[in-house]
Structure 1
Amino acid sequence: MKVRFLGTGTSTGVPQIGCRCEVCNSADPRDRRLRTSVRIEIDDKMLMIDCSPDFRQQMLPFPLEKIDGILLTHEHYDHVGGIDDLRPFSVFGPVDLYMEQRLEKALRERLPYCFAEYKYSGVPNLIVRRISADKDFQIGTVTVTPIRVMHYSLPILGFRIRNFAYLTDIKTMEETELKKLEDVDTLVVSALRKTEHISHQTLDQALKIIDKIKPKTAYLTHMSHEIGTHAKVEEELPSHVFLAYDGLEMSV
């Protein structure tokens, strides 16, 4: 399995418009963060988790090829704002979007022309594949396990694919869901900043979740400019924990 981070920033991205802080002014390319998403190549399938408003920019470096499935975590704009830009990928046929019923309802209200029974020419060709938090599902030979996490009071999904797990926008999770993550080798988990936030984990809270799950390697994502520069924060982390950055690619 090959995983590439397409974006590792929070909803405002980094640099944040109008900000002149150390992070937003950093010359280190690892401190420039598009909105959060990953691209996964596995068993001749190309999958994505979330479809950010920066989707078009994120996909320009790659050849145009079929997307075999997009796993959607929740309805916030920074995770679904790129759905309209799936238009070019419709040349390969419908793009399958895997989502919960609540998320489907929200997207149909927001983007009715993308989900209409009779679409006009040029809109993306999409198929909704409804999933639930308590049941694994298949994409070809690939088994995906949904993980229920809480984004403050909003129930959202993380995903496990074999020995890789991805949890974004998490604030809390139940012990029953932690069991789904036993023996994970590589964990990606969000860490917004160092100070408390109502709906996102702090860096310390992310490290505590990592300590509970005990992956061999962990990567932090969905970071704001308030977390600090990549170079400085990585010096503070345990040896098996790293800050992800846009363009980082790894084999799992």
Structure 2
Amino acid sequence: MSTTGSGSEGGGLADDRALLGRTSTAERVADILRTRIAEGFFPPGTRLSEDSIAGALGVSRNTLREAFRLLTHERLLVHELNRGVFVRVLAVEDVVDIYRTRRLVECAVVRGLGTPPFALDGLTRAVTGGERDAREGDWKGVSTANIHFHRELVALAGSARTDELMRGVLAELRLAFHVVDDPRALHEPYLVRNREILDALQAGERTKAERLLADYLDDSREQLVEVYARLVDAAPATEA
């Protein structure tokens, strides 16, 4: 599956040029593209135009290629010989593996929490933000708030390495989310479950929180795999 664009991605990226500052580096370009991929600006299967993106950001093609290399290493992009660089389309097996990793890491973080009270401000903001977005019918916002919830949950471990690991895992997960055609059905049931996990942690009930989280991840995996497999199999080929 690929998506073909007319170069419109360049116009949107021009707004991000200021983020590069005076010294345009591959890491900064990669940060911008990673964010745009996570937001769905470049959907899975999109071919990324070197000319359009380099021109929009005002960087050299060598710098852009290095950014592409970094994001390929993160499994967000894929280089196809004689065709170019594309936003990766996950296989169903990738989605299953992502959830396997999430269960191992997230449940271990909750299990290893120290003595209450825990610093739960970030989790609380993510939960209330998701609930607010749901009331406003902003299901893309709900998806983002849900990702923030799980990033904040992992951040409770106080480990920069674990944070980095989960940043990549959750960025990959959003590639699957962007294929789903009914984000409300995908994300709405988990608003209440996020709140339940937060309540359990606020009460210092780590065992309960871990059980709720494990059930949550198992149910989410089963739901997403079922929907994703159907949509990917039915998707026509495209290019951007």
TM-score, normalised to structure 1, is: 0.28
TM-score by length of 2: 0.29
Higher relative contact order (CA 8 A, sep 6+): 2
Name the structure where helix makes up a greater proportion of residues.
2
